[in-house]
Amino acid sequence: MSARGTRVSPKFERHTAILRLVEQGTLSTQAEVAEALRAEGIDAVQATVSRDIAQLGLIKVRSANGRLVYALPGAADLRRLDALTAALRTFAGPMVPAGPILVIHTARGVAAPLADAIDEALLPEVAGTVAGDNTIFVAVRDGISPSDLAHELAHLRDRDADG
């Protein structure tokens, strides 16, 4: 209940709790977020948490101990992620994990602009990119799954344009 006696929406309650939990800097996966919410008495499934994370615009950063954790983006982070989202929507085709790399297919001649956007986004999961004419090899950092990176990039590409 709010101070006026009206009930807050479950979504607002979840979002508020997620933001508070993220500020603690220890949540690394959607499953961990859902578990932390349940520990606070808030029922949430992974699909709901996934949407909430996208709507809140959370990003992953490397913590002091080297672990990737969810965080609130700064203004520069938001600009880089918006540019990456636009590039993914415009240029990205199929994304295929291949051993320790992620292969991203594009139309002819547009691999380089997408690779630049990936590099400039400074994603903590990405060590670097190599672009050909219509293919990008994305080297992922140690401990990161190319499949997980493909999921994160697809999530960015497919997130609701209205936030």
Q: Give which of 7, 16, 6 is closest to 42, Cα–Cα.
A: 16
- pTM listed for this prediction: 0.61
Q: For 49, what's the count of Cα atoms within 13 Å in the CB-facing half-sphere?
A: 23
Report pLDDT for 162: 44
Residues of the chain predicted below pLDDT 50: 1-5, 162-163
CATH architecture, domain defined by 10-71 = Orthogonal Bundle (1.10)
Return the pLDDT at 125: 85
Q: What is the mean pLDDT of the chain?
A: 87
Q: What is the pLDDT of residue 122?
A: 85
**What pLDDT, on the 0 to 100 scale, is given for residue 2?**
41
Domain boundaries, the chain: 10-71, 75-158
Which residue's structure tokens are 């004419």? 133
How would CATH label the architecture of 75-158?
2-Layer Sandwich (3.30)
pLDDT value for 18:
92
Q: Which two tokens stand for residue 56?
A: 């809140």
**Residue 82: predicted pLDDT:** 84
Fold match between 10-71 and 75-158?
A: no
- pLDDT by residue (tens digit) across 46-82? 889 988 888 888 888 877 777 888 888 776 777 888 8
- pLDDT for the residue 1: 44
DSSP H helices in the chain:
10-23, 30-39, 46-56, 75-91, 111-120, 146-158
- Supply the pLDDT for residue 131: 98
